[in-house]
Amino acid sequence: MKRLAVPAAFALILGAACSGSEKEHPGGEIPTEESSHEVPADPCSILTQDFISDHFKLEGQELRIEPGRSSTTLNCKASWQKADSEERTKQLPKMLEEYMAARSRGEKPKMPMIKIENMLYLTFYGKPFESPERADAAFRTMIGNLREGITAEAEVGGEKKKATFRATYDSKVEGVGDQAAWSSMLSQLSVQQGRTIFHIAVDVSDSDDENREKAADLATQISNGI
């Protein structure tokens, strides 16, 4: 089962993917400057308790909202326990037993993982761009750069390390923002709306289609409010 990327490192990679000033990309000028007169959107002012509770029909469940930032992005993580988290936890010993048995047979199985939390992760890339055209060019640059691979430096355990990250976007999503693309690998919808680029990662289901549908619904509401 896939997991969402580590927030701090992934936010850094998203910023690098959007900038990509040294790579040429068809279809428009690569933006290297943003407006210095506007404050970037605060994602935690959007992923509020009421917004999430209303959308996911949460009743009496503990909801955790955690703000974060990197040098190029502002982000917000929201998480809450899955309704069947106890049942999922009970499955882990059997999964580990099957994993060890497969390894003893010389196979190379994936380490079993269970997801006991639902998670949303909203990221805004810096300040609004100077024009929709610059945001459009940056968006398409990001898609291309992530496909080719982005190498970024992040601090892990007090040490700076470089990592190369690749991701593909499976499909365009019509009717969301000016343009939007879904990545099953990231469980994330990336959206360009006017002069703004944002990413909404949704991991609330074992079904990729359901996560994609939820992300599109949330992104539409967010786009309408920008």
Q: CA 92, CA 96: separation in Å to the nearest integer?
A: 6
What's the pLDDT at 26? Answer: 33
User: What does the pLDDT look like over 179-219, one tens digit per residue?
Assistant: 999 999 899 999 999 999 999 999 999 999 999 999 999 99
Q: What pLDDT, on a 0 to 100 scale, did the predictor assign at position 115? A: 86
Residues 6+ apart with CB under 8 A from 2: 185, 187
C-alpha to C-alpha distance for 167 and 183, rounded to whole angstroms: 7
Across 20-29, 42-51, 144-153, 192-201, least confident range: 20-29
Alpha helices for 105-207 (secondary structure H)? 132-148
CA distance 46 to 60: 20
Q: What average pLDDT does range 28-37 have in this prediction? A: 40
User: Which of 11-15, 72-76, 142-146, 172-176 is the most confident on average?
Assistant: 172-176
Residue that wins the pLDDT comparison between 71 and 104: 104
> 130: helix, coil or strand?
coil
pLDDT tens column, 133-159: 999 999 999 888 887 776 666 666 677
Digit-coded pLDDT (tens) for 105-119:
999 998 888 888 999
pLDDT of residue 40: 61
pLDDT of res. 86: 87
- pLDDT band at residue 65 under the 50/70/90 scheme: very high
CA angle 192, 135, 199 (to 5 degrees): 35
Task: Copy the structure tokens of residue 79.
Answer: 């998480």
| Domains, the chain | 7-84+118-225 (3.40.1000)
Which pLDDT band, with edges at 50, 70 and 90, does 222 fall under? very high
Residue 22: pLDDT band with limits 50, 70, 90: very low
